[in-house]
Amino acid sequence: MTKIAIIGGQQSGRTTLASKLGKKGNVTDIAIYDFSKSGRTLVSIDATGYPKSIKPLVTALNLSDIALLCIPPSGPDIHTGECIVALDMLGYRHGMVVLTMSDTSHHHALEEMEGSLRKIAAGTVLEDWEYVPVSTSTFDGMEELKERIFSMGAQVDLENAELNELPPRVVIDHVFNVTGIGCVILGVVMQGTIHAKDRMSVLPVGRQIEIRSIQMHDVDAKSAPAGARVGLALKNVQPKDVERGFVISNIDAVTTDFTLNCTLSKFAKRISVGDMLHLFVGLQTAPLRVEGIMVDGEYVDHAAAGSSCVVTLTGSKNVAYSESDRFILANLDEKQRFVGYGFCGSAITESLR
């Protein structure tokens, strides 16, 4: 199962491309397209609510393994730049740059654009990504794009298989009631393997549930491995108790406050004590206040763009997380909204000593 996020600025051809890669399914601030043929399954997520909000962008990227960054013939804009920062902050490993609407552009112009984009992407996770010109009007490049997606998908499947033995975690992206069945969630197995009849917790609410049944692409399954997009019927919980971003897990902790070992983006403004930031972890988000910043073991008022620091944040919303999670910080008042990323865990305790 290959899961891709289709991202980019406004009018970059995202929605048209997504519509050519599968059948439209669930639509909220993301739109999900499904394709399944001769054992190949593709889930494409169009972050429709972006650039208005960054949440759908983070959601689409977290639910996928491969990003397609769409760039129209008019070239990159501020949101292309923001998407690159987002991919970099997330440490996103797999993706390609899709030069859309290639039928309205010349070969020479496409080459020139690739050259200037490579300069922008230097030093980011996109550094070695491939550039694929595509037209959804003439279908030029479409077969090649699909082949590249599926060969990248095969690599991702191998990587996901290595996560099968970890304690299971499922991130929830949709929840609804099905008459006669009850609470059904859609989500992705981020690690581990889940089985029907498994007893787990829904967090951060702390509800003990049982997985009644599992479906993958509308087909019943007894278990689902890491990387699978699943539909789960849950026993002992109502849809009203569950929200997008909640996690089904037995290992997650829940808190409202964090101390993070952060790396700030060089494409953001500095952060200061007292700033209100938005924290993203998986599909969850929470507003938090910067209470303290420490650089090289000293408490300071602010930390410069591009620097490393330990940041203490307080909030009032419960967030479920695990030790290995990558936290993303954003300032919604800025033009380029992604501020930095960080981890909590043993590294913090060390630096606070």
What ranges in the chain are assigned the alpha helix state H?
14-21, 55-62, 78-89, 107-121, 142-161, 346-352
The interface partner of residue 337, options being ligand GDP, Mg ion, none and the CB cut-off 5 to 8 Å by kind, is: none
Q: How far is the CB of 178 from ligand GDP (least distance, A)?
A: 31
CA distances in angstroms from 72 to 8, 92, 99, 106, 274, listed in the order given: 9, 22, 6, 12, 39
Q: Provide the 3-class DSSP secondary structure of residue 15.
A: helix
Q: State how far the Cα of 260 lies from the Cα of 242, in Å rounded to an integer.
A: 27
Q: How far is the CB of 9 from ligand GDP (least distance, A)?
A: 7
CB-nearer residue toward Mg ion: 26 or 213: 26
CB-nearer residue toward ligand GDP: 136 or 259: 136
Q: Is 19 in the site for Mg ion (CB under 5 A)?
A: no
Q: How far is the CB of 22 from ligand GDP (least distance, A)?
A: 14
The interface partner of residue 16, options being ligand GDP, Mg ion, none and the CB cut-off 5 to 8 Å by kind, is: ligand GDP
- What is the end-to-end Cα distance of the chain in Å, rounded? 45
CB-nearer residue toward Mg ion: 6 or 202: 6
Q: How far is the CB of 13 from ligand GDP (least distance, A)?
A: 4
CA distances in angstroms from 292 to 52, 271, 274, listed in the order given: 30, 10, 8
Structure tokens at 40: 């190949």
Cβ proximity of 61 and 92 under 8 Å: yes
Q: Which residue is nearest to Mg ion (CB)?
A: 15
Q: How far is the CB of 22 from Mg ion (least distance, A)?
A: 15
Q: Is 236 in the site for Mg ion (CB under 5 A)?
A: no
CB-nearer residue toward ligand GDP: 145 or 242: 145
CB-nearer residue toward Mg ion: 15 or 308: 15
CB-nearer residue toward ligand GDP: 76 or 204: 76
Structure tokens at 314: 């307080």
- Chain residues in the site for ligand GDP (CB under 6 A): 8, 10-16, 100-101, 103-104, 135-137
The interface partner of residue 169, options being Mg ion, ligand GDP, none and the CB cut-off 5 to 8 Å by kind, is: none
The interface partner of residue 153, options being ligand GDP, Mg ion, none and the CB cut-off 5 to 8 Å by kind, is: none
Q: How far is the CB of 53 from Mg ion (least distance, A)?
A: 13
Q: Is 15 in the site for Mg ion (CB under 5 A)?
A: yes
CB-nearer residue toward Mg ion: 30 or 214: 30
Q: State how far the Cα of 96 lies from the Cα of 84, in Å rounded to an integer.
A: 11
**By CB under 5 A, which span of 15-23, 162-170, 189-197, 220-228 interacts with Mg ion?**
15-23
Residue 236 CA, chain-centre distance (Å), reads 28
Structure tokens at 180: 């006669």
What element of type H or E holds 240?
none
**By CB under 5 A, which span of 10-18, 195-203, 230-238, 306-314 interacts with Mg ion?**
10-18
Q: State how far the Cα of 169 lies from the Cα of 310, in Å rounded to an integer.
A: 27
Q: How far is the CB of 180 from ligand GDP (least distance, A)?
A: 37
Q: How far is the CB of 245 from Mg ion (least distance, A)?
A: 23
Q: State how far the Cα of 286 lies from the Cα of 257, in Å rounded to an integer.
A: 10
CB-nearer residue toward ligand GDP: 87 or 101: 101
Q: State how far the Cα of 172 lies from the Cα of 284, in Å rounded to an integer.
A: 10
Q: State how far the Cα of 120 lies from the Cα of 132, in Å rounded to an integer.
A: 17
Of 310, 260, 229, give the one whose Cα is nearest residue 3: 229
- Interacting residue ranges for Mg ion, rule: CB under 5 A: 15
